[in-house]
Structure 1
Amino acid sequence: MAKELKPFWSNYFDFNWKFGLFLILLICIPRFILVLNANETANYGYIGLVMLISAIAPFLFLSKDGRKAIGLTRPKNLHWLAWAFLGGLLFSMLLYFLGGFLYGHSFGNWYAYIGRSYNIPTGIQHDDKLVMFSIMAITGMIFSPIGEEFFFRGIVHSSFAKSVGDFKASIIDSSAFALTHISHFGLVYIHEEWRFLTFPTLIWVISMFLVSILFYFFRRRTSSLLGSVICHASFNLGMIYCIFYFLN
């Protein structure tokens, strides 16, 4: 029988739902607090650290067999990688049009609120805007897709799947992902005060849950976390493009 956990950790944990819950509490609660703090202070440096820790979690806790079991393998069905990219991009655009239809350019629009953190100067020249967009897009397509997919669709999903099966595990990891993103939008800091936007938050959480299911779908289709990483990266690309060129 393959041992998913490294020998040291197997002395303290079994690779099951309890280990998955431990990881969620270990990573998601500090992350939630740090993102809220970043929204208030405009200091987002620690968020990159959280993504780095999320990305290295499989290498810290899992054996070679364990990393293979969670999807850190070469993808199969390579044509699904192209569909993964298209799927993430389309979902991001759909979410833009939904936010625009319901809330225009107000902070009730999730993209408008998130875009505030980019600090895009008013009246920025086209070439400067392109450079800034490129930097944000490249960053957004690397750090959070790798960190979050290795964590949520990788080690967390697989630990729960060991106990309750893939379907229920996908519900759990997608729910954890969606609720964690309330710190990005939902509990908002506007005009030096905190607000909770009830209905926009509900739409946002449901959207984050559904896009998580989409990420997992492409993980399954490609038999690799690369499928979910590419879908996540293209979603971020679409979101950042909408913020730079449709909202600004």
Structure 2
Amino acid sequence: MSLILLFSIPRFIIVLNANQTGNYKLTSFIFILMWLTPFIFLTKSGRNSIGIHKPKNHQSLFFSFILGVLACSIVFLIGKFLYQNTIENWFVYISNSYKSIPVNELKGEGETIYFILFALIGMTFSPIGEELLYRGMIHECFVKLLGNNKASFVDSLAFSLVHLAHFGIIYSNNSWKFLLIPSLLWIILMFFTSRLFFYCKIKSQSIYGAIISHTGFNFAMTYFIFYYVL
């Protein structure tokens, strides 16, 4: 539990502040700390126990990526169907973090370049950091007590709740708002997405399955924001 609080509270505050100021540099720093944590605090045996080893099923990595893309597509379609292009749509609100891009650059070749740049950032920092922490270290902390499947419920709940900072508690028109129903839907969607990442870890028998699936989700999210939201 202390590991959840140690990362979740600072990350929550930093993301909320970034949503207000538009400066997201510190969020990348948090993800890098997540990357480093298993290599600082765990032995080689400990890192192996959380899944940092070669996947037993390499083919499953491809399907993990596809499943991540499909999961994001469902999340996008639900938000679009329920809330169209309003601020209650999670991807519309998250697209505010892309507003540093000059509007005149989002045309033709410039749009493609920015898409590739943002996609690469989204496919590296958070997927690696979050999966090593949530599907790795946090998950393993609860395995002996709860078993593998129930431990996934804990790490998935922690993962989904921390994403309230990304959407749910929003900063709009110079004031903070809490969107009760949209945020509940967002938490549920993030919970089941997190469970999907755990499934991909199990199928590949490696943390890399979860990372690749998360990568696919973030790739699709960047695509939808660039080509259907912005």
Instruction: Look up the match of 2:160.
Output: 178
Deviations 1:86-135, CA, capped at 9 Å, x for gaps: 10001111111111100011110000000111014334321111111100
- Return the match for 1:243 from 209, 215, 225: 225
Q: Unaligned stretches of 5+ in structure 2?
A: none
Q: Tell which structure's C-alpha radius of gyration is larger.
A: 1
CA apart distance, 1:204: 0.4
Moved more, 116-125 or 206-215: 116-125
**What is the RMSD computed on CA atoms of the aligned residues?**
0.8
1:111 lines up with 2:91 in the alignment: yes
Find the counterpart in structure 2 of residue 198 from structure 1.
180
The answer to whether structure 1 residue 76 and structure 2 residue 56 are counterparts is: yes
Identity of aligned residues (%): 43
Shift of 1:162: 2.2
Pick one of 136, 140, 151 that aligns with 1:158.
140
Superposed counterparts of 1:85-234, under 5 Å: 85-119=65-99, 120-123=101-104, 124-234=106-216
Question: In the comparison of the two structures, how many residue pairs are matched?
Answer: 228
How many Å separate the matches in 1 of 2:149 and 2:9?
24
**Partner SS state of residue 188, structure 1:** strand
- 1:51 partnered with 2:31: yes
CA distance in 2, matches of 1:178, 1:189: 19
Deviations 1:163-204 (A, max 9, x none): 221111100000000000000000000011000001100110
1:10 maps to: none
Moved more, 64-73 or 161-170: 161-170
In structure 1, list runs of 5 or more residues that go unmatched. Answer: 1-20
TM-score, structure 1 length as denominator? 0.90
Matched, 1:30 2:10: yes
Cα separation, 2, equivalents of 1:87 and 1:121: 32
The whole-number CA distance in structure 1 between the counterparts of 2:132 and 2:123 is 14
